[in-house]
């Protein structure tokens, strides 16, 4: 479905596109078709790795991939998230408890910091390795609730397919609350003509074949966009 230029949705996609470029994602496209999902990704990006020599052979890797889903109204977000009032309230309470426990774990177990991800900005803490039973039970409860919240939605399909290393909701102010996000997703909020990170996405390990597939789809979508631009320009000059 074509998105009208100047619309709120198109503006969010444009800002997500620009944000991805600023984060050194060299390949970016809007409206990326992924047949396996039965849907289009609003904005997808890839940060290809430089070719490396391994035993005399040049090896290419797709690098990190990112997906951005744009939501311009609260109703638009809740429709995709299938939010229920009770579940949202429960998640809000659990989120506060989780943040308190994580702060305590960081103070008492500084060695939990994970520094082995491909990109340092997505290093994270291995809280579960602390063996804190209340924290493990809290995480399990939140995972179960968010699974109910986002079952049978585009969010769920993207998560199940392991679509990308980094997953973000891009939204207008007050459209999405942190506790309502799918597990592992981050939140970028529009403020003026910039996106600000409200919740940082959790790095996801993704099979290389999925990253190659998304990279291919990004290239195809970018080529289609250029072709459409040429056609529009040609019609306008007639």
Mean pLDDT by 10 residues, the chain (238 residues): 67 95 92 80 90 75 90 79 65 85 81 54 63 84 73 71 89 89 89 93 87 90 70 50
Full-model pTM = 0.67
Task: Identify the domain boundary among 129, 150, 171.
Answer: 150
What's the N-to-C CA distance of the chain in angstroms?
26
Residue 134 parent element (H or E) = helix 133-150
Residue 228 parent element (H or E) = helix 208-237
The C-alpha torsion from 93 through 69 and 201 to 175, rounded to 10°, is: -30
Residues 74 and 90 in one domain: no
Tokens of 184: 């592992």
Contact 56, 42 (CB under 8 A): no
Domain enclosing residue 17, as ranges: 1-82+159-238
Residues 104 and 13 in one domain: no
Residues 71 and 174 in one domain: yes
Integer CA distances (angstroms), 164 to 41, 138, 201, in order: 11, 26, 11
- Cα–Cα dist 149/87, whole Å: 7
């Amino acid at each position: 479905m074509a998105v009208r230029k100047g619309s709120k949705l198109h503006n969010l996609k444009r800002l997500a596109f620009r944000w991805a470029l600023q984060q050194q994602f060299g390949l970016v496209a809007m409206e990326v078709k992924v047949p396996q999902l039965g849907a289009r990704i609003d904005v997808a990006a890839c940060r290809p790795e430089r070719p490396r020599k391994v035993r005399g052979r040049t090896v290419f890797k797709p690098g990190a991939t990112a997906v951005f889903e744009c939501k311009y109204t609260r109703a638009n977000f809740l429709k995709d998230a299938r939010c229920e009032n009770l579940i949202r309230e429960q998640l809000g309470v659990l989120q506060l408890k989780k943040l308190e426990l994580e702060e305590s774990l960081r103070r008492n177990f500084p060695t939990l910091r994970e520094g082995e991800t491909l990109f340092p900005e997505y290093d994270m803490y291995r809280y579960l390795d602390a063996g804190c039973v209340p924290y493990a039970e809290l995480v399990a409860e939140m995972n179960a609730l968010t699974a109910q919240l986002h079952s049978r939605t585009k969010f769920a399909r993207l998560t199940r397919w392991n679509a990308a290393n980094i997953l973000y909701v891009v939204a207008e102010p007050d459209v999405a609350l942190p506790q309502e996000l799918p597990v592992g997703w981050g939140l970028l909020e529009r403020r003026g003509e910039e996106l600000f990170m409200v919740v940082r996405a959790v790095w996801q390990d993704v099979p290389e074949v999925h990253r190659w597939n998304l990279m291919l789809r990004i290239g195809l979508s970018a080529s289609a966009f250029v072709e459409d631009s040429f056609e529009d320009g040609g019609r306008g000059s007639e």
